[in-house]
Amino acid sequence: MKVKFLNGVLALACCVVPVVGADSIRGGSTRAAAKPLVGAATPVEPVETFRRKKDSVNFLAADVARVLKVLRADKHDPTVNGMFHSETRPTFAITWNHKMWEEHTSRWRFVNYFLYWYKSALLKRVIPQLSFLMLWTAASLYLADHTQFMQINFPMTSLSLVSGFVASLLGVRTGQGMSRLLEARQAFGKVVFYTRDMSSLVSNFIYDKDPQLALKLARHLATFSWLLKNFLRGQAVTGTDEDLIRTMIPAKADADYILQQRKLPVAVVMRLRQALAHCTHKHLLSTAEEIAIDHAIQSMDLSIMVTERIIASPIPPLFTSHAGRLMVFYLTFLPIALKGTGAMSSLGVFLTVLAVGYAMLGMDEISHLMEQPFKVCPLYDLCRNSMRDVTDAFFMRPPPLNDSLSSYPDMHAPYWIPGEEFESTDKLLDAPKGRAVGHHKTGGKYSSTMELL
């Protein structure tokens, strides 16, 4: 009797253990996974992951629509200072359109230069330094007129010898900063091209043979530019982008792998090479196709190296500090030398120092802004463009070549139509109503940007 009872207990245990084990492998029940942990460093996996048996182009487009219209729906980059988002005087921190170019090349531009001078980002940047200079100028002029303390014979001819060095050093440094800005803009612009090219190759060479693998690669490609932006500006500025990663890459293992890496964009490159090796072993690609995809992956890896080199190598600080010291020396003694000539009144000296100080301090500030170009480059707009281009390669595929008489098939309304509400996009794409759980750093605080419905 005891033997039968023990056999029954063992049989019951064998039936229960597989269920418990399977639930443990998934990380808990579906209900437990769907409940977000408020304030946790790593949000739990969305319930949407368990609901999707297989990925699809519609799911991909729906997730991209969430990112563009909810997670990253700001008109301008929230991590860039608002002074660079002027509506009246567009800056380099945004991508331009035809209207901006017409206003920029208009003959009325000189009027606008002075009309909107008070909104100038450069003026706001130099006001602290310029204010200190003018306080010193006013103090030196007062002391020169009312005391004998500032009666120093400092000829303007001697000071003009220093001005030549200051002007040349500032000019060289501004030129170096401009070259770094153009190189950075070109390097990140190539990222948009490389991701678009890679998505086109995956769509044409892999999607028809292994749709799930192709969609997995598309999701990684769509996040690549965002991860590179995060790497270049630092998580202290942009946050972890965990909400975006877990939305675009619903597989928990894939998302965790990226988040645990030291360099997030390199993790995407590693994943792409792993997929290429898989396709090679399965003989899914021809030699020419393998070479084309490998070249695209190598180009993406090269873009990481180029942008990283710009961040790691500034203009030599010795050159910068030497130019700064000479400029400060020149501006400090400029009001004394001008007053000593006797050719100007105190008001004339004050206005002259104001103009010269604004010119020199402005050039110095411009060179410093351009020295770290990724703080002012339009990375936010370029990342959005890259994500759209990657999704277009799968969602807006060209018609077949074998039937030229048939019309282009009616498709769902594109996910990127301006003015479309997020809810209507969900309906058009037959996307599930669940939203991904994530935490996005805005204004120095982490807040839950999406909730499960």
Six token digits for residue 3: 């033997």
CA neighbours closer than 13 Å in the CB half-sphere of residue 409: 9
pLDDT for the residue 7? 52
pLDDT for the residue 77? 81
- Rounded average pLDDT over 422-431: 39
Range with the lowest mean pLDDT among 20-24, 153-157, 298-302, 381-385? 20-24
Q: Tell me: pLDDT of 40 over 60.
A: no
Q: Which residue has the higher pLDDT, 274 or 340?
A: 274
- Rounded average pLDDT over 133-162: 79
In a domain, 268, yes or no: yes
Q: Tell me: pLDDT of 108 over 60.
A: yes
Distance of alpha carbon 215 from alpha carbon 360, whole angstroms: 53
pLDDT for the residue 107? 83
Q: Tell me: pLDDT of 199 over 90.
A: yes
CA 420 to chain centroid: 24
408: left (phi over 0), alpha (psi -120 to 50) or beta: beta
User: Are 415 and 61 a contacting pair, CB within 8 Å?
Assistant: yes
User: Are 273 and 280 a contacting pair, CB within 8 Å?
Assistant: no
Residue 51, SS3 per DSSP? helix
pLDDT for the residue 343? 80
Q: Which residue in this structure is represented by tokens 């604004």?
A: 358
Q: What is the pLDDT of residues 363-404, one digit of tens each?
A: 999 999 889 899 888 899 999 999 999 999 998 888 777 765
Residue 427 Cα distances to 61, 62, 421, 431, angstroms: 12, 9, 10, 7
pLDDT for the residue 114? 83
Range with the lowest mean pLDDT among 29-43, 98-112, 136-150, 171-185? 29-43
Distance of alpha carbon 107 from alpha carbon 104, whole angstroms: 9
CA neighbours closer than 13 Å in the CB half-sphere of residue 294: 12
Range with the lowest mean pLDDT among 46-55, 245-254, 317-326, 352-361? 46-55
Q: Which residue has the higher pLDDT, 44 or 54?
A: 54
Residues 6 or more apart in contact with residue 341 via CB below 8 angstroms: 156
pLDDT for the residue 95? 78
For β-strands 445-450 and 438-442, DSSP reports them as: antiparallel
Residue 335 Cα distances to 140, 151, 211, 315, 330, angstroms: 7, 12, 73, 31, 9
- Rounded average pLDDT over 137-155: 76
Distance of alpha carbon 122 from alpha carbon 124, whole angstroms: 5
User: Are 296 and 180 a contacting pair, CB within 8 Å?
Assistant: no
Secondary structure letter of residue 28 according to DSSP: S
Q: Tell me: pLDDT of 452 over 50.
A: no
- Rounded average pLDDT over 344-358: 91
In a domain, 442, yes or no: no
- Rounded average pLDDT over 176-192: 92
Cα angle at 147 between 145 and 149, to 5 degrees? 115
Average pLDDT, the chain: 78
CA neighbours closer than 13 Å in the CB half-sphere of residue 2: 0
How buried is 286 (Cβ within 10 angstroms: 0-12 exposed, 13-18 middle, 19+ buried)? exposed
Residue 165, SS3 per DSSP? helix
Q: Tell me: pLDDT of 275 over 90.
A: yes
Q: Tell me: pLDDT of 118 over 50.
A: yes
Query: The domain containing residue 390 runs over which residues?
Result: 47-88+118-396
pLDDT for the residue 221? 96
Nearest of 450, 427, 446 to residue 437 by alpha carbon:
450
Query: Residue type at 260?
Result: Q
Confidence of residue 415 (pLDDT cuts 50, 70, 90): low
Six token digits for residue 406: 């048939």
pLDDT for the residue 271? 94
Question: Percentage of the chain with pLDDT > 90?
Answer: 46
In a domain, 402, yes or no: no
In a domain, 18, yes or no: no
Residues 6 or more apart in contact with residue 229 via CB below 8 angstroms: 238, 374, 379, 380, 383
Residue 442, SS3 per DSSP? strand
pLDDT for the residue 297? 96
Distance of alpha carbon 384 from alpha carbon 382, whole angstroms: 5
pLDDT for the residue 309? 93
Cα angle at 389 between 386 and 390, to 5 degrees? 85
Long-range interactions of 51-54: CB distance < 8 A, separation 24+: 51/432, 51/434, 52/250, 52/432, 54/212
In a domain, 135, yes or no: yes
pLDDT for the residue 215? 95
CA dihedral 44, 383, 400, 299 (to 10 degrees): -100
Confidence of residue 405 (pLDDT cuts 50, 70, 90): low
Q: What is the pLDDT of residues 10-30, one digit of tens each?
A: 444 444 333 333 333 333 333
The total domain count for the chain is 1
User: Are 218 and 202 a contacting pair, CB within 8 Å?
Assistant: yes
Q: Is the dihedral of CA 443, 446, 451, 452 positive or negative?
A: positive
User: Are 391 and 415 a contacting pair, CB within 8 Å?
Assistant: yes
Q: Tell me: pLDDT of 149 over 90.
A: no
Nearest of 318, 332, 376 to residue 173 by alpha carbon:
318
pLDDT for the residue 200? 95
Six token digits for residue 248: 């675009």
DSSP string, 310-378: HHH--S-HHHHHHHHHHHHHHHHHHHHHHHHHSSS-HHHHHHHHHHHHHHHHHHHHHHHHHHSGGGTS-
Q: Tell me: pLDDT of 96 over 50.
A: yes
Range with the lowest mean pLDDT among 40-54, 212-226, 383-397? 40-54
Range with the lowest mean pLDDT among 156-165, 220-229, 424-433? 424-433
In a domain, 193, yes or no: yes
Q: Which residue has the higher pLDDT, 160 or 292?
A: 292
pLDDT for the residue 205? 95
pLDDT for the residue 146? 78
In a domain, 163, yes or no: yes
In a domain, 162, yes or no: yes
Which residues partner with 445 through β-bridges?
442
CA 215 to chain centroid: 23
